[in-house]
């Protein structure tokens, strides 16, 4: 863990203790489980977003992808009540991956800026929900029983939703820390020109990052619909910004090449703790957004100050 990660962890613990002092209910296992459950969906999306940010890209379409995939699997479940959970999971991953792959293809094939492409597909995917659903909601009674069971079923005392998040986090860590393809992503974002020169297949890696982000958005869509037992057009609107916020707070650089899974998860935890703590100490939900925003600004400010002070090392260091 870096010093920055430790500092964030200390802040999270401090907030938790301070709120716990005022209302001890905040420190119960029950509340911890609530925070974990609420953070699970966010963390799946963050693990998808992070590789994209590492390449100097951004994926604004994740919330639309999540909602479209959620709607599609909900409709599929309604049509085919016999389908089992594995089929639904594979379907959600595939639908999400397809949408992500489209982003990656547009970006690399036409050399378009990721922010423009994903801003476009964000609207396209959101609009497609209308097309497939006719604007109608899929309500609790029409949602496939397996979809609803998926996030709630328990394994070793923890809901499956949390296990999914843990598995995704482990997968992200494995990819970004231990696989060549993952290390290549750091190179692609850290110095795109140099990445080409040393022979990294940059476009291929970029497509991989967006496809992964899409697949995880699809998985999150399935779990989201199961957890809240509803699918509708406006599902998770604006959630992509929370995802990016968690990444930035967790030390993932928008400028590419910097970030760890551990840091990003701390960012998720921070948002989870803040969101759970503010109602407990009677702060209105309107303030919650403003506070999350302020935290992003502060963390970006600290990052850039640290970078600016460093400068280059030209002078010889005094001999030790």
Partner 1 sequence: MSTSSPSSSDPAGVLCLRGIHKRFGPTHALRGVDLELRPGQALAVIGENGAGKSTLVKILTGVHQPDEGTLWLDGQPLRLQDTHAAQAAGIVAVHQETVMFEELTAAENIFIGRQPMRGPPGLRVVDWATMNRLAQQVLDEVGAGFDATTPVNQLSLAQRHLIEIARALSHQARVVILDEPTAALSQAEIRDFYGLVRGLLARGVAVLFISHKFDELFAVCDNYVVLRDGASVGSGRMQDASEPELLRLMAGRSIEQVYPLVDTQPGAVVLEARDLSHPTEFDGISFVLRRGEILGFYGLVGAGRSEVMLALMGLKPLARGSILIDGQQQRIRDAADAISLGLAYVPEERQRQGGILDFSVRHNLSLAALAGPRHAVKGQVSRGPWLSALRESALAQRLIERLKIKTESQDAPLSGLSGGNQQKVVIGKWLGLEPRVVILDEPTKGIDVGAKQAVYQLVAEMVAQGLAVILVSSELPEVMHLAHRVVVMKRGRQVAEFQRGEVDAEAIVAAASGLSRNAA
Q: What is the DSSP string of 27-58?
A: GSHHHHHHHHHHHHHHHHHHHHHHHHHHTT--
The region that residue 130 occupies, defined by phi over 0 for left and psi between -120 and 50 for alpha, beta otherwise, is alpha
Question: Pattern of binders to partner 1 over 248-277, x per CB under 8 A?
Answer: ---------xx-------------------
SS3 call for 1: coil
Spatial separation of the C-alpha atoms in residues 96 and 212, rounded to whole Å: 9
Of the pair 20, 203, the CB lying nearest partner 1 is at: 203
Strand pairing of 158-159 and 154-155?
Answer: antiparallel
Least CB distance to partner 1 at residue 54 (A): 10
Spatial separation of the C-alpha atoms in residues 83 and 67, rounded to whole Å: 20
- Per rule CB under 8 A, is residue 147 in the interface with partner 1? no
Q: Which stretch binds partner 1 (CB under 8 A): 30-38, 115-123, 280-288, 304-312?
A: 304-312
Within 172-191, which residues bind partner 1 (CB under 8 A)?
174, 177-180, 183-184, 186-187, 190-191
- Per rule CB under 8 A, is residue 319 in the interface with partner 1? no
Q: Which of 155, 316, 318, 319 binds partner 1 (CB under 8 A)?
A: 316
- Per rule CB under 8 A, is residue 3 in the interface with partner 1? no
Least CB distance to partner 1 at residue 56 (A): 12
């609420």: which residue's tokens?
Answer: 38
Least CB distance to partner 1 at residue 196 (A): 6
Binding-site size, partner 1 (CB under 8 A): 30
Asked if residues 122 and 234 have their Cβ atoms less than 8 Å apart, the reply is: no
Torsion of CA 57, 215, 272, 238, to 10 degrees: 60
Positions in the binding site for partner 1 (CB under 8 A): 174, 177-180, 183-184, 186-187, 190-191, 193-201, 257-258, 309-316
């Amino acid at each position: 863990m870096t010093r920055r990660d430790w500092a964030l962890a200390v802040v999270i613990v401090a907030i938790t203790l301070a709120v716990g002092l005022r209302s001890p209910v905040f420190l119960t296992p029950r509340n911890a489980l609530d925070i974990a459950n609420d953070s699970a969906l966010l963390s799946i999306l963050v693990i998808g977003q992070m590789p994209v940010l590492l390449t100097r890209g951004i994926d604004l379409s994740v919330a639309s992808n999540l909602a479209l995939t959620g709607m599609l699997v909900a409709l599929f479940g309604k049509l085919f009540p016999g389908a089992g959970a594995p089929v639904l999971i594979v379907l959600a991953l595939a639908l999400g991956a397809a949408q992500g792959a489209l982003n990656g293809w547009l970006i690399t094939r036409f050399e378009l800026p990721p922010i423009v492409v994903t801003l476009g597909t964000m609207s396209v995917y959101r609009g497609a929900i209308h097309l497939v659903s006719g604007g109608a909601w899929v309500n609790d009674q029409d949602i496939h029983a397996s979809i609803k069971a998926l996030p709630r079923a328990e394994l070793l005392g923890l809901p499956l939703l949390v296990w999914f998040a843990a598995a995704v986090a482990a997968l992200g860590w494995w990819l970004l820390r231990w696989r060549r393809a993952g290390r290549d992503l750091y190179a692609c974002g850290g110095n795109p020109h140099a990445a080409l020169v040393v022979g990294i297949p940059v476009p291929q890696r970029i497509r991989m990052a967006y496809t992964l982000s899409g697949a995880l958005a699809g998985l999150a869509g399935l779990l989201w619909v199961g957890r809240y037992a509803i699918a509708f057009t406006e599902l998770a609107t604006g959630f992509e910004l929370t995802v990016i916020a968690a990444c930035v707070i967790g030390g993932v650089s928008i400028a590419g090449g910097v970030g760890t899974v551990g840091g990003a998860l701390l960012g998720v935890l921070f948002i989870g703790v803040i969101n759970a703590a503010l109602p407990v100490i009677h702060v209105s939900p309107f303030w919650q957004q403003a506070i999350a925003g302020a935290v992003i600004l502060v963390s970006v400010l600290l990052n850039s100050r640290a970078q600016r002070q460093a400068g280059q090392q030209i002078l010889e260091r005094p001999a030790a």
